[in-house]
């Protein structure tokens, strides 16, 4: 099935045309040019980007992939919302363009380079300069105008793709998740045929809103159809993106297969089956400069595979940070959103297995209040042996990987997962469910894998509390043999999950799309 050309099937949106007429370029210095002109110019569109704004793995990917792509002569400019964390630096730079009316909002486009990233910042303070996070307010409630905030971001991206920015037009656009999926819908409505890649990081989040908002986001009534945005009586930004992008990637090949089923397809498995010829799984990588135990400023004692014994020297600092007593058993940790998807309710149920082996458990994250409460109650029962910290910060996450023996990820479904990749890099043995990207990146320590000396962690299936309990028991038993455990750690540290291979796969997709604009199918 080829890409749907909305421009040929929908009447032109008068509202969008009026909005386009309000764009006013601002004379300013030209964007800095690379010493060697890159082969491809890419506009990435994302709702968060590390290290500036992060709620999860999406930010890690959008922050690392542009850097990795530079080795393939691909120049990426990332369009991001003007959140408070970006505005102080962005407003020091002259504006590139002003929008007088983006769905009724004024906005200024600015360009700034920081942390090795080239950023287009959409400065619309009435939409993005507010307390709370990218998606929720300071009380943890969704911003009531998220439908508009991310429609505006996507519409600005579409205008840039269509050539509104003087002197710069991308060869390809790369969007991420529902928050930017409308970009390709707007582009096709405008008649812009620049190729688009849409990456799904988690299909569970779909940008589903009332169909009454269709006019408010500047799209004609014809967009409300099964071949575009209609979704069980509502509209879905993600479905619109799936139906209009030239290529769809998800963050592991296993997840690409899983989402074609009713169990993991989250109501979109039928849509994805229609577009199966454009669907591809590419495993995420990690930024090995950011996650490097040999040069990690957050660790009291850096180490590498040759000095693995130094890893244990970080454990006392980690125990002190969380107020835990030393023990002879393994120190387990979990760094995760506390949600049903992540299986954190099961961890509260089986934590006692760790303490029976004289182990310790540290949990860092936030999410569902009931799961948070259950984990805190468990920690109270095992005072001195278990600690729970609600929230997230990078320094603590690095110390956890550097000082723990094992990391637990009992996800019920997991598109890719990055925590287990960080853990591998730090010799922190992963205990994971056999699903999605977890099943691809961790080699279970079964007899065959141990004999072949390739095991890197422990998998469990079925994904139940009893399955998790059994995996924890296996890990505790393995930890009793120091030589056996050290071999597991060393194999984990030598696993290669840098961005090199994954970036090469994205580069191949880009090049194919630009060479054959009608789509990714040869």
Percent of the chain scoring above 90 in pLDDT: 86
Closest CA to 12 of 192, 240, 209, 231: 192
Per-residue pLDDT at 516: 77
Residues 240 and 358 reside in one and the same domain? no
Per-residue pLDDT at 18: 52
243 occurs within a structural domain: yes
Residues 235 and 303 reside in one and the same domain? no
Residues 324 and 240 reside in one and the same domain? no
Rg, the chain, Cα only: 24
84 occurs within a structural domain: yes
Taking 50 as the threshold, does the pLDDT of residue 520 lie above it? no
Residues 239 and 388 reside in one and the same domain? no
pLDDT tens across 114-141, in order?
Answer: 999 999 999 999 999 999 999 998 888 9
Side-by-side strand order, sheet with 429-433: 386-390, 360-365, 331-335, 406-409, 429-433, 458-460
Last residue of a domain, one of 247, 272, 306: 247
Average pLDDT, the chain: 92
Name residue, tokens 């303490």: 355
Per-residue pLDDT at 3: 37
Residues 301 and 189 reside in one and the same domain? no
Residues 157 and 72 reside in one and the same domain? yes
pLDDT tens across 330-355, in order?
Answer: 999 999 999 999 999 999 999 999 99
Taking 50 as the threshold, does the pLDDT of residue 14 lie above it? yes
b/e per residue, 475-512, with b = 16+ CB within 10 A?
bbebbeeeeebebbbebbbebebbbeebbeebbebbbb
Whole-number Å distance between alpha carbons of 47 and 201: 12
The 3-class secondary structure across 445-460, one letter per residue, is CCHHHHHHCCCCEEEE
Per-residue pLDDT at 461: 96
Q: Reduced to 3 states, what is the DSSP secondary structure of residue 39?
A: coil
Per-residue pLDDT at 241: 98
272 occurs within a structural domain: no
Higher pLDDT, 13 or 423: 423
Whole-number Å distance between alpha carbons of 357 and 319: 17
257 occurs within a structural domain: no
Per-residue pLDDT at 36: 53
Taking 50 as the threshold, does the pLDDT of residue 213 lie above it? yes
pLDDT tens across 361-382, in order?
Answer: 999 999 999 999 999 999 999 9
User: 468 is in which domain, residue-wise?
Assistant: 293-496
Name residue, tokens 């039928």: 270
173 occurs within a structural domain: yes
Residues 213 and 358 reside in one and the same domain? no
Residues 239 and 313 reside in one and the same domain? no
Number of separate domains in the chain: 2
Tell me the mean pLDDT in the region 95-115.
Answer: 95
Residues 348 and 441 reside in one and the same domain? yes
Per-residue pLDDT at 27: 55
Per-residue pLDDT at 138: 87
Tell me the mean pLDDT in the region 42-63.
Answer: 95
Tell me the mean pLDDT in the region 410-420.
Answer: 94
* CATH number of the domain bearing residue 414: 3.40.50.2000
Residues 240 and 303 reside in one and the same domain? no
Residues 325 and 429 reside in one and the same domain? yes
269 occurs within a structural domain: no
- The answer to whether 10 and 227 are in contact (CB under 8 A) is no
Going by pLDDT thresholds of 50, 70 and 90, the confidence category of residue 510 is very high
Q: Reduced to 3 states, what is the DSSP secondary structure of residue 52?
A: coil
319 occurs within a structural domain: yes
Residues 329 and 236 reside in one and the same domain? no
Tell me the mean pLDDT in the region 152-178.
Answer: 97
Per-residue pLDDT at 203: 95
381 occurs within a structural domain: yes
């Amino acid at each position: 099935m080829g890409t749907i050309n909305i421009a040929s099937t929908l009447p032109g949106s008068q509202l969008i045309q009026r909005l386009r007429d309000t764009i006013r370029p601002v004379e300013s210095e030209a964007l800095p040019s690379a010493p060697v002109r890159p082969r491809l110019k890419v506009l990435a569109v994302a709702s968060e980007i590390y290290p500036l704004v992060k709620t999860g793995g999406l930010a890690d990917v959008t922050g690392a992939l542009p850097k990795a792509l530079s080795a393939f002569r691909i120049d990426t400019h990332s369009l991001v919302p003007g959140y408070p964390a970006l505005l102080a630096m962005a407003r020091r730079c002259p504006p590139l363009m002003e929008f007088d009316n983006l769905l009724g909002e004024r906005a200024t486009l600015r360009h700034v380079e920081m942390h090795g990233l080239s950023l287009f910042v959409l400065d619309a303070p009435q939409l993005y300069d507010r307390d709370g996070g990218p998606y929720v307010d300071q009380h943890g409630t969704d911003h009531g105008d998220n439908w508009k905030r991310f429609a505006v971001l996507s519409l600005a991206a579409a205008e840039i793709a269509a050539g509104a920015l003087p002197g710069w037009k991308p060869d390809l656009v790369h969007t991420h998740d529902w928050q930017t999926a409308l970009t390709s819908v707007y582009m096709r409505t405008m008649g812009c045929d620049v190729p688009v890649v849409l990456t799904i990081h988690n299909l569970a989040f779909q940008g589903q809103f009332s169909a009454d908002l269709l006019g408010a986001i500047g799209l004609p009534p014809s967009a409300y159809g099964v071949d575009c945005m209609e979704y069980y009586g509502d509209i879905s930004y993600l479905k619109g993106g799936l139906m209009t992008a030239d290529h769809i990637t998800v963050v592991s090949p296993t997840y690409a297969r899983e989402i074609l089923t009713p169990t993991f397809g989250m109501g979109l498995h039928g849509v994805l089956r229609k577009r199966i010829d454009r669907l591809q799984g590419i495993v995420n990588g990690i930024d090995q400069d950011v996650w490097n135990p040999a040069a990690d400023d957050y660790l009291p004692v850096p180490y590498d595979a040759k000095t693995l014994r130094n890893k244990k020297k970080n454990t006392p600092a980690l125990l002190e940070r969380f107020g835990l007593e030393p023990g002879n058993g393994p120190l387990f940790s979990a760094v995760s959103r506390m949600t049903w998807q992540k299986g954190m309710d099961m961890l509260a149920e089986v934590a006692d297995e760790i303490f029976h082996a004289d182990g310790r458990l540290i949990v860092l994250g936030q999410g569902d209040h009931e799961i948070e409460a259950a984990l805190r109650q468990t920690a109270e029962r095992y005072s001195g042996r278990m600690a729970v910290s609600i929230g997230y910060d990078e320094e603590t996450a690095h110390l956890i990987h550097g000082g723990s023996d094992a990391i637990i990820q009992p996800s019920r479904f997991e598109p890719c997962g990055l925590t287990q990749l960080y853990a591998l890099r730090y010799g922190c043995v992963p205990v994971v469910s056999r699903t999605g990207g977890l099943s691809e990146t961790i080699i279970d320590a079964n007899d065959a894998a141990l004999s072949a000396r390739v095991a890197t962690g422990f998998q469990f299936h079925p994904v139940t509390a009893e399955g998790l309990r059994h995996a924890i028991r296996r890990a505790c038993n393995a930890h009793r043999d120091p030589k056996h455990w050290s071999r597991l750690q060393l194999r984990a540290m030598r696993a290669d999950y840098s961005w090199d291979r994954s970036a090469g796969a994205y580069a191949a997709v880009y090049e194919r799309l630009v060479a054959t604009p009608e789509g990714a199918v040869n």
